[in-house]
Chains A and B, each alone.
Chain A
Amino acid sequence: MTPDRWIVTIAGIGLVAFIIWFFWLKRSTGARATETSGGYQEAMILVKGGYTPDTIVVRSGRPVRLNFRREETASCSDKVIFPDFQKSADLPTGETVAVELMPKEPGEFGFSCPMGMFRGRLVVE
Chain B
Amino acid sequence: MNMRTEAAIPDSQSGGLPTGRESITLRIGGMTCAHCPPAIEKAVREVTGVKTVSVNLATQTAKVGYDPAQAKVSEILRAIRSVGYAVGTATMRIPIKNMHCTSCATRVELALKMTPGVIAARASLAPNAVDIEYQPERTDFQELRRSIESSGYRLAEPKVKPTDETLDPAEAANEQEYRSLMRKFWIAAVISLPVMAFSYPDLIPGLRDWMPMGSDTRRIVWALLGVLSLPVLLWSGSQFFVGMWDALKHRAANMHTLIAIGITAAFLYSVVAVAWPGIFPDMALAEVFWDVTDVVVALVVLGLALEIKAKGRTSQAIKKLIGLQAKTARVVRDGKEIDLPVEEVLVNDTVIVRPGEKIPVDGKVSVGSSAVDESMITGESMPVEKQTGDEVIGGTLNKTGSFRFTATKVGKDTALASIIRMVKDAQGSKAPIQRVVDTVSGYFVPAVMIVAILAALVWYDFGPEPRLIYATVILVTTLIIACPCALGLATPTSLTVGIGKGAENGILIRSGDALQAAEKLDAVILDKTGTITKGEPALTDVVVTPGHEENAVLRLTASLERGSEHPLASAIVKGAEARKIELADAEGFAAIPGHGVSGRIDGHDVLFGNAKLLRDRGVPADALLPQWERLANEGKTPMYVAVDGRAAGLIAVADTVKPDSRAAIEILKGLGIEVVMLTGDNERTGRAIAREVGIDRVLAEVLPDDKAHEVQKLQLEGKSVGMVGDGVNDAPALAQADVGFAIGTGTDVAIEASDVTLIKGSLMGVVTAIEISRATMRNVRQNLVGAFGYNALGIPVAAGVLYPFIGLLLSPLIAAAAMAFSSVTVVTNANRLRFFQPRRTGS
Contact = CB atoms under 8 A, between A and B. Distances in A.
Interface of A: 1, 5, 8-9, 12-13, 15-16, 19-20, 22-24, 26, 48-52, 54, 72-76, 78-79, 81, 83, 86-90, 92-93, 95-96, 112, 114-119
B832 to A, nearest CB: 19
Given A12-B456, A92-B169, A117-B441, A50 B450 contact: no
A86 B429 contact: yes
Interface stretch (B241-249, B322-330, B389-397, B520-528): B241-249
B246 A50 contact: yes
B428 A114 contact: yes
A49 B250 contact: yes
B450 A49 contact: no
Nearest to A90: B170
Given A23-B252, A75-B307, A88-B425, A12 B454 contact: yes
A48 B127 CA distance: 20
Contact of A19 (B239, B243, B441, B450): B450
A92 B172 CA distance: 10
Given A49-B247, A115-B488, A9 B446 contact: no
B280 interface: no
Interface string B441-453: 1110110011001
The A contact surface, by secondary structure, is: mixed
A116 B437 contact: yes
A117 B246 CA distance: 12
Interface residues of B, number: 54
A86 B170 CA distance: 22
Given A76-B488, A81-B429, A90-B170, 12 more contacts: A5-B461, A19-B450, A72-B246, A75-B177, A81-B430, A87-B428, A92-B170, A93-B173, A95-B169, A115-B441, A116-B442, A117-B488
A118 B253 CA distance: 9
Contacts of B249: 49-50, 52
A95 to B, nearest CB: 7
Contacts of B251: 22-23, 26
A116 B438 contact: yes
B460 A75 contact: no
Interface in B789-804: none
Contacts of A93: 173
Contact of B428 (A1, A75, A81, A118): A81
Interface in B236-284: 239, 242-243, 245-255
The B contact surface, by secondary structure, is: helix
B425 A23 contact: no
25 contacts: A5-B461, A12-B454, A19-B450, A23-B251, A24-B443, A49-B243, A49-B246, A50-B250, A50-B252, A72-B246, A73-B176, A75-B307, A75-B308, A75-B311, A76-B485, A83-B429, A83-B430, A87-B428, A88-B424, A88-B429, A115-B488, A115-B492, A116-B442, A117-B441, A117-B488
Contacts, number: 120
B484 interface: yes
Contacts of A13: 457
A117 B450 contact: no
Contacts of A89: 428
A92 to B, nearest CB: 5
Nearest to B78: A38
B192 interface: no
Contacts of A73: 173, 176-177
Contacts of B782: none
Contact of A117 (B242, B245, B430, B484): B484
A95 B246 CA distance: 19
Contact of B492 (A20, A72, A114): A114
A7 B488 CA distance: 37
A118 B174 CA distance: 19
A78 B485 CA distance: 15
A74 B243 contact: yes
Contacts of B247: 49-50
Interface string B742-781: 0000000000000000000000000000000000000000
A8 B460 contact: yes
A26 B242 CA distance: 22
A19 B449 contact: yes
Contacts of A24: 443, 446
Contacts of B445: 23
Contacts of A88: 424-425, 428-429
Contacts of B443: 24
Q: Which of B173, B251, B460, B485 gathers the greatest number of chain A CB atoms within 10 Å?
A: B251
A79 B428 contact: yes
B511 interface: yes
B489 interface: yes
